[in-house]
Structure formats: structure tokens, C-alpha cells
A and B are shown apart, each in its own frame.
Chain A
């Protein structure tokens, strides 16, 4: 194993990690806001990938152009999921923990079923996009362009999110609501509206990730499952509810995955991530940057 291979795989691990961070941050945002884990998060990603695919297949819109449209569509979808399902799930008195987990799990199963029914279980892909298959060589290190752009989008999204949370009125309302939902009601902020917008925003972020992913990943009804687990691990690693934690967690996951792939057979590459995650939560049950 040469130094070059190591740098090569760590560099692609870093790029992939930033994308993992982007997939996961919506989950972290929603959890931080209202203590709910969206177990359909992977299916949100799946839907985003299908939308990108169909925009490409029917209207020949390149994923890079359709990304904002996909994000917008997912925003609406996320807000609707909150208003139609989650809003009622968090009110449950009996078996509250179970209701929260299984209401979104049920949604995940339905979404997978719907995808199978309408789109069939076939694997699809965006066949010839602007970036697909192209690489950039920097000092002998080859980096795939889609991942490079994906990483750039992820960094921009995190920057934008940071600005949004700390500098805008809605961002401040979001922060206030996560701290004390009861008190914000007193100052006239509609909790449901904030939560719905929070869900929309979380879904829009995963939509963005889905659009980029569809450039270099196969699209099929179960595609969300594998990424969802990585997203949970990323978020739990960074600390649930911490946006910065999702960013850092994503990078860690990407790098660990790349290093595991160097040392173990490819089919075991996820074991490294899971093992690191377990180590972290056993030592720090609330993750690296988790509060409380």
C-alpha cells in the first residue's frame, strides 16, 4: 500500500463524508428541534433520488440544475409529513416512545411500497449527466467530479444553514422553540408552524443530497435503507440535535469508511463505521458534540 493510495482513499473518504453529513443534517435538525427521530429519513432520500431521475428522464434536466427543484419538492413533502403524521404522533399519551418510532417507520414502509408499486424494484440511473464519470486530477490524486461538487454543495449548505439559524428571524424562532416550546407559544410563535418549517427544511437538505447522489448511485426503492443507517450513525456520533455534530460526524464516518476499506475486504467497509460509532456512544452516550 503506497502513500498515494492512502491519500487517494482518504481524499475520497473526506468527500463522501461531507455528503454523508449533508444526508444526515436534516435528521439532526429535526431531532434537535423536537426530539423526534425520523425513521423514514432514508426514504426521503430515496424519493429525492427518484424525482431527480424522472426530471432527467422526462425533461432532460441535469441533476445539478434540478437540485433546487428537488429540495423545494422535499420541503413541501417534509412539512406535509409533519402536519399529517408527526404532529399527531408527538401528542400520544400511551406508549409515547413506541408511537414516535413506529409512526415514522410505518411511513418508511409505505413509501417503499409506493416506490415499488409505481417505479418497480428495477435499478435505475441517471445515464449521462454533465459530471457523471468525470474526474479531476490534483497532484496525482484522482477525485470524481460529482463527489467534489457534492462536497462543495454540502459545505455551502452547512454554511447557509449556520447563517440561517443564527442570523434570520425564523432561525431564531427555531432556536427558541427547541429550547422551550411552551414559552414561545406565549410570545405568539405558532409552534406547529415552526415545526412544519423545521421538517420542511430538514427534508429539503436531504433532497439536495439526493439530487447529487443520483448522479453516481443506482436508484431503487430500498436505496434509502443503507444510507439511513449511516445517517443515524453520523447523527448519533456527532450528537443528536447538533448541526455541527452532523457535519463533523459525516467527515469522521467518511474517513473511517475509507480507512476500513483499505484494511478489510470491501464487504466489511461499514463495520469500521459501526464499530467507531458504538465505541463513541458507549463512552459518551450523547455523542461527541451532544448537549444535555
Chain B
């Protein structure tokens, strides 16, 4: 009986997600405004990135403030492979994902011995080293960055000058994939191990969970997805430099939607992105004017308020009786 309740809840999540994705897919057919479409692309992208960040930092509890590294690696791999070797971005994104996953595990090897704040600070520093190295790497454009040459609209090269729609659908697909991967892992041995590791590593170890491997797995999945997002972003803006894809603000921006919506939850990151990204974009253009910092005040304030008043995130507000309903 319990089992069917649980299975029903899982199925309901899947159906809701499918319906939301379907609705999202038809919105741009009616909303033609490029500015709004742009916001929608960014919202989906940050949702997807935050969902991926959430796997390591939310489920597994290893709060990373250095995911900009993987975002940047994805962007650079995709761009460099295309501009230097003519490799299509589709393969570039996958390649960036694989490289990032491998690097995440390599870095995890020493980093996962660190706990709490020590871990968070090490991740900031490592991403900063990456940033500095790219700044000085002439072959990769150094501080000047790389412009992706445009040669007309093409699905093959995944570049579109006139319409934002293809980017929108890719971002939607990415968000769906990130959500689905989370959904799928949530009820797998990995999902349970990660949550156990987050709550109490010692007890997890006593139950046969190899804590170190669990963290490595989470880091690899998380870095892979973030890097694919980075590859997409490079195509979307068609110009990258170290600051604009690997700067610390990206690490923060990846974390904030999850924090707002609910860290370590299935729906939190998407919900957070849907609220946060439009709010920041709108404040920036309507009140902020010439980038006078109002947008920063708004979302910094939001983050403080959420952290203090509702640390479990906003997601619970949408299904308050969930726990009881199962019983």
C-alpha cells in the first residue's frame, strides 16, 4: 500500500513535469517579444544549471561555490573545438561535459577530504585558479576572449542570428534533462546514498555507503551537466572571455535559484529560477537603468530573507501537505 502511494507520487511528479514542459514549449509561439524570449531562455538555462549544481551541493551536501569552473570549461571546450578544429558544437558540448566530469573527479580526490566551509572555500579558490589560467592562455584567446564566427542560421552549427527560438528549445530540453536526471537519481541507490552522506557521513559509512565514491559520483554528474550548459551559453552569446564564463558570479548564480526554491529538492531549482531570473532581469532594465545596483539589492535581500525565514526554500509552499498526504 505504501509502495503504491510512493509510486503514485513519483508518477505524479513526472506527469506534472511533462505538462509544464509542454506548456513552456508553446509559450514562445504566442510571445514573440525578443526581450521576453531572451529572459525565458536565461530562466530555463539557469534552472538547468541550478538543478545540476543541486545534485552535488543539495542532495550530497557538498556546497560548491566553484561551479563556474565547469561552466567555463564547457564553454571553452565547445568554442575551441569549433573555432580551432571545426568540431560541431553538439560534440563540443558533450566533450566539454566529459572533460569537466573527469576534472571534477580529479579535483574531488583531494577536496572531498575537506569539510563544510573548508570545502566551499577550496572550490572558490580552484575556480579562481582556472579563471587566471584562462586569462593567460594565449591559444585560448587569453583575456581578449574568442568570438564564434557566424555563418548564417544552421542547426548543424547550432547558431542562429535572427531567431531566439532554437536556443529556447535547446534550453528547455536541457532543463528537462537536468530535471529528469534528478528525478531518476532521486529514487536510485545514488539518491539515497547522497542524502545519507549529507545528513551523517559516519552513519552512512556504517551502512555500507562508500562516502568518498558517493561524492565523486555526484561531482561527476553535476559537472557534466553544468558544462553542457556552459557550451550552450557560449553558442547563445557567441562570444566568450574568461570573466564572462568563468567569473565567480556564475558560481553564485548557479546556487541562488536552488537556495531560493529549496536546496536538495526536486522542484526547488526550477521554481527558484522562474522567480529569480525574471525578477533580476526586470529590475535591471526597469529600475536599475545604468546598472546602478538595485538588482543586486533585490536579490541579495531575497537571499537573506529566504535563508533566515525559510531555509527549506519556497518549494514546500506549493505542496504543504505532501508528507502527511502519503500516510
A202 to chain B, nearest CB (A): 15
Q: Is B293 within 8 A of A89, CB to CB?
A: no
Q: Is B126 within 8 A of A95, CB to CB?
A: no
Q: Is A229 within 8 A of B308, CB to CB?
A: no
B-contacting residues, A186-243, CB 8 Å: 221, 225, 229, 232-233, 236, 240
Closest to B256 in A: A102
B133 proximity list for chain A (CB < 8 A) = 271
Q: Is A270 within 8 A of B308, CB to CB?
A: no
Interface segment, one of A45-53, A69-77, A127-135, A273-281: A273-281
- Determine whether B124 belongs to the interface, using a CB cutoff of 8 Å to chain A: yes
Q: Is B307 within 8 A of A102, CB to CB?
A: yes
- Please tell me the number of chain B residues within 8 Å of chain A, measured between CB atoms: 49
A184 proximity list for chain B (CB < 8 A) = none
- Determine whether B241 belongs to the interface, using a CB cutoff of 8 Å to chain A: no
Closest to A286 in B: B118
A229 proximity list for chain B (CB < 8 A) = 124-125, 128
Contact with B along A264-292 (1 / 0, CB 8 A): 01011011001101100110011000000
Interface segment, one of B8-16, B69-77, B169-177, B297-305: B297-305
A-contacting residues, B55-82, CB 8 Å: 61, 63, 65
Partner of B293, one of A97, A113, A282: A113
Closest to B116 in A: A97
Q: Is B304 within 8 A of A110, CB to CB?
A: yes
Interface segment, one of A3-11, A115-123, A170-178: A115-123
Given A106-B307, A233-B125, 13 extra CB contacts under 8 A: A96-B311, A97-B63, A98-B259, A98-B307, A101-B65, A105-B303, A109-B252, A113-B293, A113-B295, A240-B117, A267-B143, A277-B125, A278-B129
Q: List 28 A-B contacts (CB under 8 A).
A: A94-B311, A95-B263, A95-B311, A98-B259, A98-B263, A98-B307, A102-B303, A103-B307, A103-B308, A106-B303, A106-B304, A106-B305, A112-B296, A112-B300, A116-B291, A117-B292, A221-B293, A229-B124, A233-B121, A233-B125, A240-B117, A267-B132, A270-B132, A271-B129, A274-B126, A274-B128, A281-B122, A282-B113
B: residues with CB less than 8 A from A are 61, 63, 65, 110, 113-118, 120-122, 124-126, 128-129, 132-133, 135-136, 143, 248, 252, 255, 259, 263-264, 291-308, 311-312
A: residues with CB less than 8 A from B are 31, 37, 85, 88-89, 92-99, 101-103, 105-117, 120-121, 221, 225, 229, 232-233, 236, 240, 265, 267-268, 270-271, 274-275, 277-278, 281-282, 285-286
